[in-house]
């Protein structure tokens, strides 16, 4: 059995710098990431935190690679109780410039088999990255569109955190 690895590719009609800014700005991320926001100094070994709209850290990590505006990688350790016993995974963003657009490839890997975090991020990234694309192309993020089950899982996890 191969270890779980999530890969998502999307094409965005935007400059690489704009995509980079959206991936690393606390304020912009809050717009398209349904209130969640990224926090870091964006230097190798600097801490990374994803916080919810109340300022509570939901995911912690460390910057592993930071090469603006091309490549960003950080470790990912959810702080929800049912996820906290899993080891940190790794998410990598690669921005490739193309005429009039970029190809953004998000790879989330280093999971153990049967990882619950893997299930959760496999649901989550398509929503977040679709919303990022909408925000960059139209100026409007997507409305929160969590599926009922996903919403329940997150709400329950946040209640316990």
Q: Which stretch binds other proteins (CB under 8 A): 37-45, 63-71, 82-90, 123-131?
A: 123-131
Q: How far is the CB of 8 from other proteins (least distance, A)?
A: 8
Binding of other proteins by 144 (CB under 8 A): yes
Sheet of 89-98, strand order: 6-12, 101-109, 89-98, 71-78, 57-67, 47-51, 37-40
Q: Which stretch binds other proteins (CB under 8 A): 18-26, 61-69, 142-150, 152-160?
A: 142-150
Binding of other proteins by 152 (CB under 8 A): no
Q: Which stretch binds other proteins (CB under 8 A): 18-26, 65-73, 74-82, 92-100?
A: 92-100
* Chain Cα centroid distance, residue 43: 17
Binding of other proteins by 94 (CB under 8 A): no
DSSP string, 39-80: EE--STT-EEEEE-TTS-EEEEEEEEEEETTTEEEEEEEE-S
Angle at the Cα of 2 (from 23 to 153), degrees rounded to 5? 55
Residue numbers at the binding site for other proteins (CB under 8 A): 8-13, 98-101, 126-127, 130-131, 133-134, 137-138, 140, 142-147
């Amino acid at each position: 059995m191969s270890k779980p690895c999530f890969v998502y590719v999307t094409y965005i009609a935007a400059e690489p710098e704009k995509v980079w800014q959206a991936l690393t700005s606390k304020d912009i991320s809050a717009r398209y990431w349904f209130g969640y926001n990224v926090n870091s100094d964006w230097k190798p070994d600097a801490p990374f935190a994803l916080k919810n709209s109340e300022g509570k850290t939901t995911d912690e990590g460390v910057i592993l690679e930071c090469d603006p505006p091309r490549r960003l990688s950080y470790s990912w350790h959810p702080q929800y109780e049912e996820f906290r016993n899993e080891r940190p995974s790794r998410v990598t963003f690669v921005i490739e410039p193309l005429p009039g657009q970029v190809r953004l490839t998000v790879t989330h890997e280093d999971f153990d088999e049967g990882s619950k975090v893997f299930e959760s991020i496999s649901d989550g990234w398509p929503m977040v990255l679709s919303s990022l694309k909408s925000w960059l192309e139209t100026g409007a993020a997507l409305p929160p569109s969590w599926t009922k089950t996903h919403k329940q899982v997150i709400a329950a996890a946040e209640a316990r955190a």
